[in-house]
Structure 1
Amino acid sequence: MSEETTDRGAIEEIGKAAELIQQVAKPVLNLIFTVIPIIINFTSATYKFYKKLPIVVVRLIIGFIMCFFGGMFPTVFAAIEAAEYAGRTTVMKAVSALSEEVMIIIEENKKDNETDADGDGQSDVDQISNQEFVRRKVDLVLRKINPEKVNDAISSLFKVSIDAYSNKAGINIQFGRWLSVLAVLTVEFARTIAMSLSIGDFVHKFMDHWVAPLMKRATPKEYRKWTPVIIDWMCKSIGMTVAWKVQTIISAVTSAMAGGLIISRAILQLVAKGKDHNNTMADEFASYGFAAAGFYFQFYVGFDPPFPLNLFLWPVQMAETYIRWSITKKS
């Protein structure tokens, strides 16, 4: 096979891939424009409701989340805690600004979808190709979004991540990376990461000796260069799965105990107003029961949110998976 034929074949494959992306882009963009406003409106309504609650009820909710869900999302909670060092208000303002810009784009997209410039009774977006549709939507975003507002919001989030690292690590370093917040988590979960890498290295030896030769025999010659990479991914995945499962159990125990104590003290404050929990052991005794219930619940559901909670918490689950992989692979 000549080099020219190979290049022509590669160009054809790239063309097919580009065509497939264009076909998928239209329904994906429509889905995004439909789902995002629902998420933003729900989050906004929840936050407004949260701000109106009495402080004791807020503590009760926080204690309940820690007690019954703390082991499911340990790195997400740690990341939120790290961001707290740089100021929650800054984060909330930045997220709010970005949400406002997103909602503007959503509304403009609705108007654009209803536009019928030629007056033939059919919207213009339904009469153009997938490629033109993508260009039209990109152009809409570029024209309607406020770049300075978005830049300021992203810069604030960027600064939060840097300050979070500097404050928690106790040093004055100005990193030029958003990933500095991951450095905080790397320190906090150092033992888990070390365990993950140790297990991965141990499994790697077994895979290199027994699995790699079999994979090379079963793999076509031109694809054998991928064998070491795939084995490395498999070993890291096994190490991460085992190590983070152990960390999940540890986090579930500690968060259940801490959350149980918060719940018991909040209930004591609601039931016996004005009574100081320092003058009684009732809150400690009650916390044992809440802690046991919280850990049992997490263990019973396999340390994953049960249905239908998983339908609402899937973004948090994705964030948890991403953070775990990020802080482990960079070590």
Structure 2
Amino acid sequence: MAGVVATLKLQFAKTMSLAVSISDNIRKPAVSILAPFLIYSLPPEHHPWINPILDLTCKFLAMSLAWYLSRIISAVHSAIIGGLAASRACIQLLNDRKLITLDIDKLRILATFADVITKSMIDEYSGWTLAAMGILFQLGQGMQLSFPLNILLLPLSFVEVSLQWAVTFMK
């Protein structure tokens, strides 16, 4: 648990650093666009609140964007690792059942360049194809679980939220 929290704290720090950078960069355009509108639309007694409102709005938007980008990066990384692992496992399974005869490790070491491209890259091509399909599926789902899985994996969702709270507020 301590190792998981430590790893997540590092990821949290990276995400917060990105959020601060995004916030700092969108603040000036936001002030130039929104401040005149707020000055015109708010009564004069609320004008001292314009700066904090714009500041918090920029920080909120930047943090939301940073967390979303962090989720996308994690999904891409997981898809690549999972796609390659699944394709290599399928090739091994087909080899074990004698449906194909392809020893990827030996081909990579012993084969000529043309053979390596045509035979041993099968796991790479299929793995990257699976990764691309997984990434597109995740993005199509909005990075959320679909109906039957969201109910089935509800306890794990609670664990995820608990880890997020632990990373955010643990000192």
Q: Same fold (TM over 0.5)?
A: yes
C-alpha RMSD over aligned residues: 4.1
CA contact (8 A) 2:87 2:127 kept: yes
Aligned to 2:112: none
Matches within 5 A, 1:169-248: 181=5, 183-188=6-11, 190-205=13-28, 210=34, 214=38, 217=42, 228=52, 233-248=56-71
Q: Deviations over 1:166-225 (max 9, x none)?
A: xxxxxxxxxxxxxxx2x432324544332111122334456667459949946998xx88
Structure 2 regions of 5+ residues with no counterpart? Answer: 108-119
| Aligned equivalent of 1:278, options 94, 99, 105 | 105
Alpha-carbon offset, residue 286 of structure 1:
2.0
Structure 1 regions of 5+ residues with no counterpart? Answer: 1-82, 84-160, 166-180
Q: Does 1:269 align with 2:92?
A: yes
Aligned to 1:156: none
Corresponding residue pairs, total: 148
Residue identity in the other structure for 1:311: I
C-alpha separation in 2, matches of 1:307 and 1:218: 47
Q: Deviations over 1:260-314 (max 9, x none)?
A: 1111122223221297542342322321221121112112212221223223345
CA contact (8 A) 1:253 1:295 kept: yes
Change in 2 beyond 3 A, CA 1:264/1:194: same
2:96 alignment partner, SS class: coil
Residue identity in the other structure for 1:278: D
Q: Percent identity?
A: 33
CA contact (8 A) 2:8 2:167 kept: no
Q: What is the TM-score of this pair, normalised by structure 2?
A: 0.61
Residue identity in the other structure for 2:134: G
Aligned to 1:260: 83
1:263 alignment partner, SS class: helix
Change in 2 beyond 3 A, CA 1:220/1:324: farther
Aligned to 2:164: 323
Aligned to 1:304: 144
C-alpha separation in 1, matches of 2:45 and 2:148: 44
1:304 alignment partner, SS class: coil
Q: What is the TM-score of this pair, normalised by structure 1?
A: 0.35
